[in-house]
Amino acid sequence: MSNPRQSAHPIDPLFTNRWSPRAFAEETIAEPALMSLLEAARWAPSAYNVQPWRFIYARRDTPAWQPIFDSLVEFNQMWTKRAAALVVVVSQREALFPGRAEAAPNQWHSFDAGAAWASLAFQATLSGWSAHAMAGFDAEKLRAAIQLPQGYAIETVVAVGRKGDPAVLPDGVRKLEAPSDRRALAETAAEGVFRQ
């Protein structure tokens, strides 16, 4: 599939080549390959370098897979069943900031976890894999499945796999299987003040 995305300003093709497919080939991922994606995420920028993100992962056909997979909504189970791995991205709500004796709320925990997810997604693209983050899961079921303490927020579940043939998807989903565009930069960025 050719990539119809065109940037309005010069950027590395990595940014337009990365997209979130749902059609995955049923290829497995070796643990070292998955660790490379998580290593990239580990090096994401972080406010005060507190690194609030944590990753709970499961490769398909391992005991860790089913409890995470079972927490996904039915629509996401339909296409993630062919993914090579699922990665739950969570973030710690409090941090011990420099110069502080006690942990305090970290208002940037989700922002930093988002930077980690982006780093994972870009490394996946560079490595010939794809990553698709999703919000469709039962949070309490997932929290219990991964034994997540209450001080952590569940940010997303990421499916990782090799792009597959869109024909494996139902008709209604197959038509969505293409890189999406973005609104114009002029609608997103404004100098000095916010504009609608």
Pairwise CA distance, residues 178 & 171, whole Å: 13
Q: Is 144 a domain residue? A: yes
Sequence-distant (6+) residues with CB within 8 A of 63 are: none
Q: Is 103 a domain residue? A: yes
Strands 104-105 and 130-134 come out as unpaired
**Are 76 and 136 in contact, with CB atoms under 8 Å apart?**
yes
| Separation of CA 59 from chain center | 15
Q: Is 62 a domain residue? A: yes
Q: What tokens does 116 get?
A: 């980690």
Say what the pLDDT of residue 4 is. Answer: 80
pLDDT by 10s per residue, the chain, length 196: 567 899 999 999 999 999 999 999 999 999 999 999 999 999 999 999 999 999 999 999 999 999 999 999 999 999 999 999 999 999 999 999 999 999 999 999 999 999 999 999 999 999 999 999 999 999 999 999 999 999 999 999 999 999 999 999 999 999 999 999 999 999 999 999 999 8
Q: Is 9 a domain residue? A: no
Pairwise CA distance, residues 137 & 129, whole Å: 23
Number of domains in the chain: 1
Q: Is 180 a domain residue? A: no
The gap between the terminal CA atoms of the chain, to the nearest Å, is: 35
Pairwise CA distance, residues 188 & 136, whole Å: 26
- Boundaries of domain holding 103: 31-166
Q: Is 76 a domain residue? A: yes
Q: Is 61 a domain residue? A: yes
CATH number of the domain within which 92 lies:
3.40.109.10
Q: Is 171 a domain residue? A: no
